[in-house]
Amino acid sequence: MEIKKSFETSFRELGKNKIIILPVLLSIFIPIILTLVYVDISGLREFLVEQNVNDKSENLSDIYSLFTVRNLVLLLLFLFVGILASLYLTCAVFSLITLNIFKKELNFYDSVNLTNKYFWKYVSLNILSTLIFVLPIFLTFLIAILIFLSGR
């Protein structure tokens, strides 16, 4: 099958099943919403408004007041929720595509069941692929730092 025909078939199927786009749109908007909520809850919005109004860069010492345990815990929580939501919605897209390939009706119930079935496997796959990518880079930097420090 030539590539042009593959794209035409894919777009035709996407046109018939527009529901596949919904998890993609949600995966775009959820991080934006989480970021806006975090900026508002953490006090960063007030800080930015104050900096913009005062237009003074010498008051950057005030930014240290934002580094509280509460804000750091909130940041980690929001990052964790955002990453899990992104992974879940990506898995939902895959489940919708799978249902479409098997010519099954795309409905919410079947999609959620299939997504839940493979979600933790997908998370494990992402963790493993991240480790495969990050671990060699980390080890390379560690070896370079050790070589640099031993040369002193």
pLDDT score at 30: 95
Confidence of residue 82 (pLDDT cuts 50, 70, 90): very high
pLDDT score at 65: 74
Q: How far apart are the C-alpha atoms of 24 and 33, rounded to whole Å?
A: 15
H or E element: which one contains 64?
Answer: none
Q: Are the CB atoms for 128 and 120 separated by under 8 Å?
A: no
Share of the chain above pLDDT 90, in %: 57
Confidence of residue 19 (pLDDT cuts 50, 70, 90): confident
- Per residue in 83-115, pLDDT (tens digit) is 999 999 999 999 999 998 898 888 889 999 999
